[in-house]
Structure 1
Amino acid sequence: MTILLPTSTAGSLPKPSWLAEPEKLWSPWKLEGEELVAGKQDALRLAVEDQRQAGITIVGDGEQTRQHFVTTFIEHLSGVDFEKRETVRIRNRYDASVPTVVGAVSRPKSVFVEDAKFLRAQTDQPIKWTLPGPMTMIDTLYDAHYRSREKLAWEFARILGEEARELEAAGVDIIQFDEPAFNVFFEEANDWGIATLEKAAERLTCETAVHICYGYGIKANTEWKKTLGSEWRQYEETFPNLQKSSIDIISLECHHSHVPMELIELIRGKKVMVGAIDVASDTIETPEDVADTLRKALAFVDADKLYPSTNCGMAPLSRGVARGKLDALGAGAEIVRQELAAA
């Protein structure tokens, strides 16, 4: 049976304090060896159960087996030296010490497939897996080999395509590519970024999604948001081309942002993951808050194409706050489902 308004998270959930330091990005693991493997699987099981209890329809792994949504994938590639680090500006917002591309990049073996198989074994519900998009990957590295953002993006698109097809074969129903860089590098996104994204998704028969947000609720991002004015119209730059793309689902930040709701009209015809949960605040939304966001979105997206979600990942939040927000998302979507059924 197809559920109206299927809910999901944008990706990450907080890790248990026994696995990694809480409320911190790039938090180091507290376990080692076989204990770490078991601990990651235990945390993944807990993430699935939290989603199930909250009534989340499309289940993710909460990114429990990864330190970071981009670098954990890159760690498994050849041609990248994690010992040779350079400081770069991440999405024109903050400086970070990042690894260096020193040679031709390749993927010696699958990165997340075993984790995806483990997730598939935990639930009969549809599952989603997140991967970094090509443009966001190149923005998290120093390139001393290709010396061309576009060339490196096409290489990453090829590698991501290999991984995505193996994830699909492992039983993943939706593969989501995270491209927050689309909200910063508009010209590049339209010139070749969307094309590289489509390359990563080609030959997949499962559904594909692209997640474009204003970032985690960390200080660098929240400070940047204060400079964006009363209306955030960044989506206006890329949505027309994404509407024409082969990607099935567009995921956007909405609740408590200054994104004009009518921008969703630009992707009419696509399925839309509407961010109805603010991940930059510890305030837990009420179900009615979520329902109100969804009702407003329904003016611009058909009900059978609306996927309630979170604005971004919730890794930096406390587990209690994240769980409360999950519950609100599930309950708010149910309110609107009932209203649509009664209409």
Structure 2
Amino acid sequence: MADKIITSSLGYPRIGRNREWKKLLEAFWGGKINEEDFRTEMAGLQLQHLKTQQEAGITLIPVNDFTFYDHVLDTAAMFGIIPPRYGYDGGEVSLDLYFAMARGNTEATACEMTKWFNTNYHYIVPEIGNQTPRLTANKPLAAYRFAKEQAGIEGKPVITGLYTFLKLSKGYPAAEIAQVAERFLPVYVQLLQELQQEGVAWVQIDEPAVVTGLTIEERALLESIYSRIAAEVPGLQLLLQTYFEAVEPLEALLKLPVQGIGLDFVHDGGDNLESVRRLGWPEDKWLFAGIIDGRNIWRSDADAKLELVSELSTHVPASRLILQPSCSLLHVPVSVQGEDRLKSTVKNAIAFADEKLAELSLIAAAAGGEQDTYAAALAESREALARFRALPERGRRDVAEQVRALEQLPDSRSLPYAERLKVQREKWQLPLLPTTTIGSFPQTAEVRQARLKWRKGVWNQERYDGFVREQIEGAIAFQEELGLDVLVHGEFERADMVEFFGEKLDGYLFTKGGWVQSYGSRCVKPPVIYADVAFIEPMTVKESVYAQSLTKLPVKGMLTGPVTILNWSFVRDDLSREEVAKQIALALRQEVQALEQAGIEMIQVDEPAIREGLPLKAEDHEHYLNWAVRSFRIATNPVKATTQIHTHMCYSDFNDMIGSISAMDADVISIETSRSHGELIVSFEEQEYDKGIGLGVYDIHSPRVPDVTEMTVSIERALRVLDAEQFWINPDCGLKTRGWEETGAALRNMVQAAEIIRKEARV
């Protein structure tokens, strides 16, 4: 019999099977429970997650992956990295301060929020200034003690590595990263020493930033960090964990004084495996092999995984090989158990977090010499995948022909932008600095309840449509009263900007409880692309036409773009993402044409997720951006020159892709910048942008309402580098999560700020 193979997990979903985590957070923020009850309930949820992994047979169970908001924010708070505007005076960070950094309060704006690498998870960006790092509380130690005392689990503490933490932070010159690292090393050493003194066996140090590529200087910095740690914390077993892509060069990590290295063998493009083949594996290190896809929901091909483990075993002794998911399971839902509405053929091909842990245990046992024992389970897995792959809707000839014909379609508008601008100005007659919103208005309890009644059949279609029309009427009147120049219908019929379209396209399916965390308590339920995507009938025309009938002002038609629909879905894994994007773009192209034919001639096609799909390595950017931009253009280019195409992007670093944004050839783009206004404006000082643009003037993800002066200053700052003739004024994102009172107050201030700039001729 072969040696038994150990299993490990990198992290477990925080939200709970029924989103208990989200509900606790919002109850606490809303004053419905006090801090003591909040902490007690959260501890119970944390314990439940630990026991689930224990029962799944996972050997090395992560601790400290559980958080009250975000793990990067946890790290900043743990080291006392608190921006001065919060008035922090030392000591352990209170919950009020912690949540103020995440959400803002009446005295201070929130910290910036952006994408966690190329995922749809958002982290709070640390602001490193002149603070002296100190260990305000050893959170990993507390999590280790909790798991041991409450569940008898010898956990594996998880911490964000110093290199990655600094790479994800702002507020210091990039050239001084080595000096900043020297300031932080003593607290990292202190944290690890305390873990060692407690008897911790393994510590997982997450360093995903290393997969973005390592310069000679960055390799030297990594060596400096880990040599210092190894010298001052001898004997503690350190796992340097990477994920999301391959490590290049792997040699740089193999030289580091750590006992284990975690590699992603799912999203590495085969490069990590090739590096192991080429280099072999050091005798003094453990390989933590990420073989189960932690970012998608499809069942693993057990035969292929066993073949991979077999090959790895030729390079790494089984006694030093540990199997695990490719990354934290934070990015997938909790359990398939409740999905009773899915056809069995599809359901049996899906694996959420709990099922992935079961797969992991099965593959580890079978690879460890127990294939005969688990032959029936392996056969069941094999047959389930075969049935799913044979579904006829996964190989539609008509869709394949349309995609092939795509190469013959032009991907540019009938006129270049400079010429379109002239005819659009003549048609629309908008004022200088036109005001608008991004699309959605508050999704009140009344709206959500109405949608639920309709879905459950309590309300028929006619009654629900009547309710939506009433909401649209109120939204149009509300916007006219505020004095906005370009209106929206409010999107009251849409629970989610991707799910809404997926429900109306062929090739999608929908889960009942497939929720994942996006940011804070915000959870999304990504639709699932399981087959070929195709247009069925118009999806948005009815509501847009009704809204336009209520006003003489222009009303934008609102669509979600092809790349965002792709990136915010769980995508089939038998086609390239580029091919699936083409299918979606063709479907949306038909919707854009339907809107224009119905008289809607301002159409916003949102692409908030275009940046998050960007590969992590610079050499792969061009290929991705080329097909992403082409997908957008295919969807939007068939319209007349006078039809104005808008788009929206948010919560990513767009500084390095201004050229690609311009290449999308939208007439107007709105970009979230309220939390990072200055940084993006600097880009426009260095790069020319010649199309219409709105830089979000206030943060809708915070309950705080900025005053007129603050917005005026924000607008004036942008107008130093952007022509007033091209500038639009808008919030930074949709308003569905806000209440009507604060929405009205903020938009009223925004309109007043625009009027002040116009009247005082500051432009």
Range class of TM-score, shorter chain:
0.7 to 0.9
- 1:310 correspondence with 2:731: yes
Structure 2 residue runs without a partner (length 5+):
1-428, 615-620
Tell me the equivalent position of 1:142: 570
Match for 2:667 among 221, 245, 248?
A: 248
1:327: Cα distance to partner?
A: 1.0
Distance (Å, rounded) in 1 between the aligned partners of 2:583 and 2:518? 20
Question: Which one of the candidate residues 293, 306, 309 is aligned to 2:714?
Answer: 293
State the shift of 1:293 in Å: 1.0
Superposed CA RMSD: 2.5
Matching residue of 2:50: none
Q: Does 1:264 align with 2:701?
A: no
Q: What letter is aligned with 2:723?
A: D
Deviations 1:279-301 (A, max 9, x none): 01111122222211111111121
Equivalent position SS for 1:309: coil
Matches within 5 A, 1:130-279: 130-144=558-572, 147-186=575-614, 187=621, 189-205=624-640, 206-214=643-651, 234-257=653-676, 259-260=678-679, 261-265=681-685, 266=687, 268-279=689-700
Q: Which runs of no fewer than 5 residues in structure 1 stay unpaired? A: 22-26, 215-231
What is the percent sequence identity of the aligned residues? Answer: 25
Residue 189 (structure 1) shift: 4.9
Partner secondary structure for residue 526 of structure 2: strand
Alpha carbons of structure 1 residues 96 and 10: separation in structure 2 relative to 1, 3 Å? closer
Instruction: Measure the CA separation in 1 of the matches of 2:758 and 2:524.
Output: 43
Q: How does 1:5-84 map to 2 (within 5 A)?
A: 5-20=433-448, 28-31=451-454, 32-33=459-460, 34-83=462-511
Equivalent AA in structure 2 for residue 129 of structure 1: G
CA distance in 2, matches of 1:273, 1:75: 30
Count of residues in correspondence between the two structures: 318
Q: Tell me the CA shift for residue 111 of structure 1.
A: 0.4
Separation of aligned partners in 2, 1:99 and 1:245: 25
Output the amino acid matched with 1:198: R
Q: Deviations over 1:226-274 (max 9, x none)?
A: xxxxxx7x11222112223422112111223355122234352111012
Note closer, same or farther for the CA distance 1:149–1:60 as it changes in structure 2 (3 Å cut): same
* Equivalent position SS for 2:445: coil
Residue 281 (str. 1) matches residue 702 (str. 2): yes
| Amino acid aligned to 2:672 | E
Alpha carbons of structure 1 residues 69 and 53: separation in structure 2 relative to 1, 3 Å: same
| Aligned match for 1:107, one of 532, 535, 539 | 535
Contact 2:564-2:607 within 8 A present in 1 as well: yes
Shift of 1:89: 8.2
Offset of 1:68 from its aligned partner? 1.3
Larger radius of gyration: 2
Q: Aligned pair 1:98/2:534, yes or no?
A: no
The structural deviation recorded for 1:101 is: 2.2
Whose RCO is larger (CA < 8 A, sep 6+)?
Answer: 1
Give how far 1:53 is off: 1.1
Aligned residue type for 2:750: L
TM-score by length of 1: 0.85
Partners of 2:605 and 2:678 in 1: how far apart? 21
What code does the residue aligned with 2:464 have? Answer: L
Query: Which structure is higher in helix share?
Result: 2
* Structure-2 change in CA distance of 1:245 and 1:41 (3 Å): same
Between structures 1 and 2, the one with greater strand share = 1
Contact 1:182 1:189 survives alignment (8 Å): no
After superposition, the C-alpha distances for 1:203-230 in whole angstroms (9 at most, x for unaligned) are 112111221101xxxxxxxxxxxxxxxx
The list of structure 1 runs, each at least 4 consecutive aligned residues, that deviate by more than 6 angstroms after superposition, is 84-91
Equivalent-residue separation in structure 1 for 2:484 and 2:541 (angstroms): 23
| Helix, strand or coil at the partner of 2:591 | helix
CA contact (8 A) 1:15 1:319 kept: no
Residues 98 and 140, structure 1, Cα contact 8 Å, conserved in 2: yes
1:172 positional shift: 2.0
Residue type at the aligned position of 2:656: E
Contact 1:164–1:200, Cα closer than 8 Å, also in 2: yes
Tell me the CA shift for residue 192 of structure 1: 1.4
Q: 1:285 to 1:71 in 2, by over 3 A?
A: same
Q: Is the 8 A contact 1:268 1:300 kept in 2?
A: no
- Tell me the alpha carbon deviations over residues 53-88 of structure 1, each in whole angstroms, 9 at most, x when there is no partner: 111100001112211111101100112122598677
Instruction: Give, in whole Å, the separation in 2 of the partners of 1:18 and 1:47.
Output: 14
Relative distance call for 1:62 and 1:239 in structure 2 (3 A) is same
Cα 1:95/1:117, change in 2 over 3 Å:
closer
Q: TM-score, normalised by structure 2?
A: 0.39
Residues 267, 315 of structure 1: alpha-carbon distance in 2 compared, 3 angstrom cutoff? farther
Q: Distance in 2 between matches of 1:277 and 1:111?
A: 30
CA deviations over 1:94-147 (Å, ceiling 9, x no partner): 985433323221111100111111011011101112211111101222233753
What is the letter of the counterpart of residue 127 of structure 1? V
Q: Give, in whole Å, the separation in 2 of the partners of 1:6 and 1:128.
A: 13
Q: Which residue of 1 aligns with 2:354?
A: none
Structure 2: distance between partners of 1:212 and 1:49: 27
The answer to whether the Cα contact below 8 Å between 1:138 and 1:152 also exists between their aligned partners in 2 is yes
